[in-house]
Amino acid sequence: MSSPLGSPRLMSSASPFRNKVPTQMRRCLPAYLFLVFALFIILNFDWVLAIPNPASVLRRQPKPPPVPGSTFPQKIWQTWKVDPLHFEERDLLTARTWTEKNPSFRYEVVTDANEMAYIEDRYGPDGYDRPDIVEFYQMINLPIIKADLLRYMIMYAEGGIYADIDVETMKPFHRFIPERYNEKDIDLIVGVEIDQPDFKDHPILGKKSMSFCQWTFAARPEQPVMMRLIENIMKWFKAVARDQGVPLGEVQLDFDQVISGTGPSAFTKAILEEMNRKSKGPRVTWDNFHNLDESKLVGGVLVLTVEAFCAGQGHSDSGNHNARNALVKHHFHASNWPSRHPRYKHPAYGQVEDCNWEPECVKKWDDNIGNWDKYSENEQKKIIQDIEDARQEQERQQQALAALPAAFP
């Protein structure tokens, strides 16, 4: 009979393993396991370092630096006759540049069909509760006055970027703010349009000779200068209506009245006044921005050089659209409002604006106008006919030159 120690029922379950693994190896097994673990750590050192420390996960991580321009409302505003679904190709192409260069911005067009709904929403009882503004806008009929007023009303209520429908952007919005500025110090961004102070005393060109551009600008919402501009326009327009003895809807304006009443001259006057309200130094005048060769921040208004928004004008040392600081390009295909508002045009010598601020041309025009009354009526008629004949001959020559490529392919 077998010994009890040899009975299978009394043997430990670990006995087979103990019998198969040498005693010396069993003693060294912990060391072997430690070496394997150490080797694993060495071979996977990068992976081990990537495991976050639980304490660091709970600790707040620093925020990435803000994108330049991000403290301004990320909105692009335009106004036009129709909505973007019905844009002509030319308007679609220029409008698309704004969304392509600023893909994270909201884009909106206020149209002739929805402008009153927009104004009543923002300036009605549930908005700023300005029934005087809503009523005034409803009563006026001149499209260019409404267009100017609407852009100021939008920018007061919303902020962001405003651009005319025929303005193409060549750079994203963050390029509008030079790196040397703290953008939190900036409330409004404008650019020089016309810088011709030598003509400030000219009877026709004087009021237009120094101005900021208002076909493109940027602002934070609820800037007081925008509201003052709106209220100034209302006051001015009502005075014109009284002078003409007509209701607001029947007022007629010439070109210069539009420019000085609601356009660049009115815009510039309001901005200079705002600068002087905020600035603590000497009085701010156009002299601060004449021949501006780099941007300048005055009273919360960042003024960009003329080439920023108005390159390629052929005056005011505006350069061209290939300049490094050129930000937008105005195509002028939607700017037909001057044809509806007459400006002074001499029967023989035409408009002084045709000189495009060229001093010799303006001087010649002034001299011709000054001498006009010295001529007899017959002499005046002959001058007019001679100038018309010369104009027609020039047109024939231009047409002939244009036909040359077709004649000689």
Q: What is the DSSP string of 190-217?
A: EEEEEE-GGGTT-TTTGGGSEEE--SEE
Q: Of 278, 315, 296, which is closest to residue 287 (Cα–Cα)? A: 296
Is residue 11 scored above 50 in pLDDT?
no
Q: Where are the beta strands (DSSP E) in 62-152?
A: 75-80, 106-111
Average pLDDT, stretch 79-88? 96
User: What is residue 3's predicted lDDT score, i.e. its pLDDT?
Assistant: 43
Is residue 27 scored above 50 in pLDDT?
yes
Confidence of residue 336 (pLDDT cuts 50, 70, 90): confident
Return the CATH fold of 75-340: Spore Coat Polysaccharide Biosynthesis Protein SpsA; Chain A (3.90.550)
- With a CB cutoff of 8 Å and minimum separation 6, the contacts of 329 are 167, 168, 170, 311, 312, 321
Q: Of 257, 220, 399, 405, which is closest to residue 338 (Cα–Cα)? A: 257
Confidence of residue 281 (pLDDT cuts 50, 70, 90): confident
Q: Are 303 and 295 in contact (CB under 8 A)?
A: yes
The DSSP 8-state label assigned to residue 346 in this structure reads B
Rounded Cα gap, residues 68 and 174, in angstroms: 5
HSE, side-chain direction, 13 A CA sphere, residue 175: 14
Average pLDDT, stretch 90-110? 97
Give the N- to C-terminal CA distance of the chain in Å, as an integer: 124
The DSSP 8-state label assigned to residue 182 in this structure reads -
Q: What is the pTM of this model?
A: 0.82
Confidence of residue 181 (pLDDT cuts 50, 70, 90): very high
Average pLDDT, stretch 140-154? 97
Rounded Cα gap, residues 12 and 275, in angstroms: 97
3-state secondary structure of 109: strand
Rounded Cα gap, residues 207 and 200, in angstroms: 7
For residues 10 and 175, the model is more confident at: 175
H helices present in 245-340, as ranges:
255-261, 264-278, 306-310
Phi/psi of residue 346, nearest 5 degrees: -70, 140
DSSP lists the bridge partners of residue 301 as 188, 298
Q: Are 150 and 79 in contact (CB under 8 A)?
A: yes
Rounded Cα gap, residues 33 and 22, in angstroms: 16
User: What is residue 408's predicted lDDT score, i.e. its pLDDT?
Assistant: 55
Is residue 37 scored above 90 in pLDDT?
no
What percentage of the chain's residues is helix, strand, coil (to nearest 5)? 55, 10, 35
Is residue 9 scored above 50 in pLDDT?
no
Using CA atoms in the order 248, 254, 259, 261, what is the torsion angle rounded to 10 degrees? -30
Q: Of 190, 211, 132, 198, which is closest to residue 328 (Cα–Cα)? A: 190
The alpha carbon dihedral of 81, 157, 128, 278 has a sign of: negative
User: What is residue 231's predicted lDDT score, i.e. its pLDDT?
Assistant: 98
Rounded Cα gap, residues 132 and 89, in angstroms: 38
User: What is residue 166's predicted lDDT score, i.e. its pLDDT?
Assistant: 96
The DSSP 8-state label assigned to residue 319 in this structure reads -
For residues 37 and 368, the model is more confident at: 368
Residue 123, both tokens: 């300036």
The DSSP 8-state label assigned to residue 350 in this structure reads B
Residues 315-336: b if buried by 16+ CB within 10 A, e if exposed: ebebbeeeeebbbbbbeeebee
Rounded Cα gap, residues 363 and 374, in angstroms: 18
